[in-house]
């Protein structure tokens, strides 16, 4: 009989939902690129089917894990590092909601409501966990941004479904804690022990709050201004912070090439999709030639990174190097 320690299901990790985040991020990029640059819709349609199928599969596996190995799930939910990956589930719902806006409005709206409510719960639980537990500085890492970034995703569809006040509420939470956590994590990285090699890819999460924040800010301000919005200083500020981190991490590519494949490689994908979407939106607002070419380049980079990481993940799965005891 298979023991708890030997079961692949018992070690099915919540961070695997980053796979869905990466794929759905690319899907939304391709949807946006089809409008802005004339990319064929068939690419995003295939991506939606693939992303949703993987989400359903992973959800079913994690539910099975909960019923068969409940204590393992409880331990994961109370782990100072693994806990921060649980909001990836609600982020997946929000991203699927965005992708379905062009396919089925009712499905998109339902997923937005469920995703927003669930993410608010995760945000409250995670911040409460940080407050009531004695955490070491080594526990802090860029994955702490995951419960925060999700709040900034809500307004992207929330302005259409949940209303302006609710969208601003989520946006405010995300932007405020982005600044707070950035200070904490940068302090850890500079003045304390370096991140373990397997967590180096999570540095890309630094891009996501600014990239997604730009998208949400434009959505909110457009609604506040009656459907018209010219990019202002704060909008440029948020976007340029995201662009700076993209350049910085590109400048550090030598460090990332030294990291052998681990599931955290998926941390490369969604943040790249976020800054790509922000760049395409900036082009649509400003018609800047630089944004046009940069957007095209980032679409290709994002697609390549997602496909390459997916290829490495399939290789690792075939070798049974995923869902193992750490």
Cα 160 off chain centre by = 21
Confidence (pLDDT) at 49: 93
With 70 as the cut, is the pLDDT of residue 3 above it?
no
With 70 as the cut, is the pLDDT of residue 51 above it?
yes
With 60 as the cut, is the pLDDT of residue 6 above it?
no
Q: For 119-144, b where at least 16 C-beta lie within 10 A, e where not — what string?
A: bbebbeebeebbeeeeeeeebbbbbb
Residue with tokens 């997602």: 306
Mean pLDDT of 198-206: 89
pLDDT higher at 226 or 57: 57
Largest CA distance in the chain: 64
The pLDDT confidence band at residue 2, using thresholds 50, 70 and 90, is very low
Q: Give CA–CA dist 109/103, Å, rounded.
A: 11
The pLDDT confidence band at residue 191, using thresholds 50, 70 and 90, is confident
The pLDDT confidence band at residue 326, using thresholds 50, 70 and 90, is low
The answer to whether the beta carbons of residues 174 and 151 sit under 8 Å apart is yes
Q: Give CA–CA dist 151/167, Å, rounded.
A: 9
Alpha helices in 14-40 (DSSP H): 17-36
pTM exceeding the 0.75 threshold for the entire prediction: yes
Q: What is the per-residue pLDDT across 225-266, written as a single tens digit (0 to 9) for each?
A: 887 888 899 999 999 999 999 999 999 998 888 888 888 899
Q: What is the per-residue pLDDT across 264-302, written as a single tens digit (0 to 9) for each?
A: 899 999 999 999 999 999 999 999 999 999 999 999 999
Residue with tokens 């993987």: 54
The answer to whether the beta carbons of residues 176 and 112 sit under 8 Å apart is no
Confidence (pLDDT) at 1: 39
Confidence (pLDDT) at 283: 95
Confidence (pLDDT) at 162: 85
Residue with tokens 């379905």: 100
Mean pLDDT of 103-117: 93
Percent of the chain predicted with pLDDT > 90: 59
Confidence (pLDDT) at 107: 93
Assigned token pair, 223:
């609604």
Residues 6+ apart with CB under 8 A from 32: 277, 280, 281
Q: At what angle do helices 233-251 and 269-286 cross, to 10 degrees?
A: 140
Confidence (pLDDT) at 22: 94
Q: What is the per-residue pLDDT across 114-167, written as a single tens digit (0 to 9) for each?
A: 999 999 999 999 999 999 988 878 778 888 889 988 999 999 998 889 888 999
Percent of the chain predicted with pLDDT > 70: 98
Confidence (pLDDT) at 103: 87
Residues 6+ apart with CB under 8 A from 39: 30, 33, 299
**Cα dihedral sign for 253, 255, 257, 263?**
negative
Instruction: Name the most confidently modeled range: 36-45, 56-65, 194-203.
Output: 56-65
Please state, in angstroms and as integers, the Cα–Cα distance from residue 6 to each residue in 76, 233, 322, following that order: 17, 55, 13
Confidence (pLDDT) at 208: 92
With 90 as the cut, is the pLDDT of residue 322 above it?
no
Architecture of domain 9-318: Alpha/alpha barrel (1.50)
């Amino acid at each position: 009989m298979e023991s708890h320690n030997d079961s692949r299901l018992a070690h099915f990790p919540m961070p695997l939902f980053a796979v869905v985040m990466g794929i759905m991020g690319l899907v939304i990029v391709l949807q946006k690129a089809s409008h802005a640059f004339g990319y064929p819709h068939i690419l995003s349609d295939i991506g939606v089917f693939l992303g949703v199928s993987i989400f359903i599969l992973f959800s079913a596996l994690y539910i099975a894990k909960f019923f068969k190995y409940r204590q393992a799930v409880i331990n994961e939910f109370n782990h100072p590092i693994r806990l921060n990956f649980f909001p990836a589930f609600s982020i997946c719902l929000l991203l699927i909601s965005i992708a379905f806006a062009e396919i089925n409005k009712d499905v998109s709206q339902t997923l937005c409501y469920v995703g927003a409510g669930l993410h608010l719960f995760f945000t409250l639980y995670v911040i409460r966990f940080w407050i009531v537990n004695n955490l070491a500085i080594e526990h802090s890492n860029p994955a702490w941004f995951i419960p925060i970034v999700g709040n900034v995703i809500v307004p992207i569809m929330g302005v259409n479904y949940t209303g302006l006040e609710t969208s601003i509420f989520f946006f405010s939470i995300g932007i405020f804690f982005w600044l707070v956590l950035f200070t904490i994590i940068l302090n850890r990285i500079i003045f304390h022990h370096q991140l373990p090699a397997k967590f180096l890819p999570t540095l890309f999460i630094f891009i996501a709050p600014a990239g997604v924040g730009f998208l949400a800010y434009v959505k909110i301000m457009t609604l506040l201004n009656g459907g018209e919005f010219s990019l202002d200083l704060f909008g440029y500020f948020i976007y340029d912070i995201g662009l700076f981190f993209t350049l910085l991490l590109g400048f550090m590519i030598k460090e990332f090439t030294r990291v052998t494949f681990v599931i955290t490689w998926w941390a490369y994908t969604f943040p790249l999709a976020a800054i790509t979407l922000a760049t395409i939106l900036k082009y649509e607002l400003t018609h800047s030639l630089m944004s046009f070419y940069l957007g095209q380049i980032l679409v290709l980079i994002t697609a390549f990174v997602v496909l390459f990481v997916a290829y490495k993940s399939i290789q690792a799965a075939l070798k049974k190097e995923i869902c193992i005891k750490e």
